[in-house]
Structure 1
Amino acid sequence: MIVWIVTDKGSATQSDAKTALWLHIIPFLMTIGIFFLVGVAGLASNSVHFTAFFSVPLMIVFFVVDLGLVIYNLYKGIKILAEA
Structure 2
Amino acid sequence: MTIDTFQAIADPNRRHLLEELRRRPQTVNELAAGLPISRPAVSQHLKALLDSGLVTAESRGTSRIYAVRTDGFMHINLWVDQFWS
TM-score in same-fold range (> 0.5) = no
Higher relative contact order (CA 8 A, sep 6+): 2
Q: Which has the higher strand share?
A: 2
TM-score for the superposition, normalised by structure 1: 0.30
- Which of 1 and 2 has greater Rg? 1
Q: Which is richer in helix?
A: 1
